[in-house]
Amino acid sequence: MLKWEQSVTIEEAQGITGHFTKADRWIILIFFLMGLSVGVHLLNILVIPAIVMIYYFKRYKPSKWGGVIAFW
């Protein structure tokens, strides 16, 4: 997740914006690996809310209701 956040910061500094940027490849890799690891250990599912919150607060302008919806 930190690698994704670093990539987003670099893209923002370069002026690259949009919903589907190269940084989102890291998100796809993270969820692919999480899907593989669920077969081994279910505690991996506990990380999903934290990843969603990091994604929300980095990509969108934070608001009270947006945070509630992202956490729901």
List the domain boundaries for the chain: 2-71
pTM here is 0.59
What pLDDT score does 4 carry?
A: 74
Q: What is the dihedral of CA 35, 64, 14, 1, to 10 degrees?
A: -30
Q: What is 15-44 written as a DSSP string?
A: T--SSS-TTHHHHHHHHHHHHHHHTT-GGG
**Burial of 8 by CB count in 10 Å (0-12 exposed, 13-18 middle, 19+ buried)?**
buried
Please list the pLDDT of the chain residue by residue as tens digits (72 residues): 677 777 777 877 887 766 667 777 888 888 888 888 888 888 888 888 888 888 888 777 877 787 777 766
5 CB neighbour count, 10 Å cutoff: 15
What pLDDT score does 18 carry?
A: 66
